[in-house]
Amino acid sequence: MQKANFFQSLTLGIAGLALLGCGAGEDVAARQENQGPLVEIVAVQPLSAAGTIQASGLIGYKREPQLAFTSPGVVSALQVDAGDVVRRGQRLAVLRRTSVGSNTDEAALARANAVRDLERTQELFDRGFVSQARLDDARLAVERARDTSTLTAPADGVVLRRLAETSQTVAAGAPIFIFGETASGLVVRAPVSSTEAARVRVGDLASVSVAGGAPLQGRVTRVGAKGADGTGAFEVEVDITGAEGLRSGTVAQVEIAAAAGAAQESAILVPTLSLLDSRADQGVVFVVDADNIARRRSVRTSGVTQDGVLVVEGLAAGDRVVSAGAAYVQDGATVRIAAAS
């Protein structure tokens, strides 16, 4: 009788421990589930529309030449400064040449001889004894003998930057001013990825936005033929309509209404917050499987719309992509899915 009671007590104890173990296991599982990051997901679907291409660039004049003297010398006068608006032919700077001769008297004598030779050559030319080429050489000699040189504005425009100071010695061809030709118009030069550049065509419409101002209309006028050595990006130039008041060097946002390509016909739209580690046309998203485990997946993108990012490689229709909270998710981790609002 005592043995029966002992075995009965032992059986009840084991059953109790089993029940306690199950309860503890369920509690641990519940705690682990509650500890997973709370995320929102979206079932992605193909999108036929190509969307727009977004990029940032700098505003500048279409033609911004560097102005320089053709001979070495010392800058004796600067008559304009950065920001000045000038007219075609207006004098900008004066240079005292150092190639004419270091001795002032010697330089003056050289100029006098060149002038006399030009006068004799002109007289002989009028009488038919010398050719036009000989007369042109005499005129060139007078110009070379001058001890000063004047730099003038090549067109109506604005001085964007001054690169020299008075009394500074400069070499031939050294830039003195950076000049913006107002008649050439203002453009935005923005870098885009190789995939995006393949979709852009000259004549595509664009929208240009500057902080604090209303969007302006634009049109693509040039697409770079070669990518930058460092980044591989291609430069797209957008002409701006109604750009009064804008300044060269201002940062602008550009949205280009690019044409759809074959790759974009099967593009999948994902929320912007889903994309992590975005670099050029590459990125990463988290896809949640049937067991609510998040898996890291690399994707290739081809543009941005107002509704999200276009993915052309790496996702399939119906994939459950983390749309909010992706920054707190780890690869292979279980996640908690928030109820749809």
Bridge partners (DSSP) of residue 301 are 311
Of 197, 232, 256, which residue constitutes the final position of a domain?
256
Q: Determine the pLDDT at residue 47.
A: 63
Q: Are residues 71 and 169 in the same domain?
A: yes
Give the contacts of 226 (CB within 8 A, at least 6 positions apart).
234
User: Smallest Cα–Cα separation from 163: which of 66, 231, 249?
Assistant: 66
* CATH number of the domain within which 229 lies: 2.40.30.170
Round to whole Å and give the CA distance between 327 and 332.
14
Token pair of 276 as six digits: 């992590």
Q: Determine the pLDDT at residue 144.
A: 67
Round to whole Å and give the CA distance between 140 and 317.
75
Of 182, 201, 217, which residue constitutes the final position of a domain?
182
The packing angle between helices 104-126 and 132-145, to 10°, is: 160
Domain range enclosing 150? 67-182
Q: Are residues 126 and 164 in the same domain?
A: yes
User: Is residue 23 included in any domain, yes or no?
Assistant: no
User: Is residue 41 included in any domain, yes or no?
Assistant: yes
Q: Are residues 236 and 272 in the same domain?
A: no
Length of the chain: 341
Q: Are residues 176 and 77 in the same domain?
A: yes
* CATH number of the domain within which 171 lies: 2.40.50.100
Q: Are residues 190 and 175 in the same domain?
A: no
User: Is residue 24 included in any domain, yes or no?
Assistant: no
Mean pLDDT, consecutive 10-residue stretches, the chain (341 aa), reads 50 50 48 69 71 86 94 91 95 81 61 80 87 85 73 95 94 95 94 84 91 87 89 92 87 82 63 84 90 90 75 86 88 83 48
Name the residue type at position 150: T
User: Smallest Cα–Cα separation from 182: which of 155, 150, 148?
Assistant: 155
Q: How many domains does the chain have?
A: 3
Q: Are residues 129 and 71 in the same domain?
A: yes
Longest dimension (CA), the chain: 154
Q: Are residues 72 and 177 in the same domain?
A: yes
Q: Are residues 114 and 171 in the same domain?
A: yes
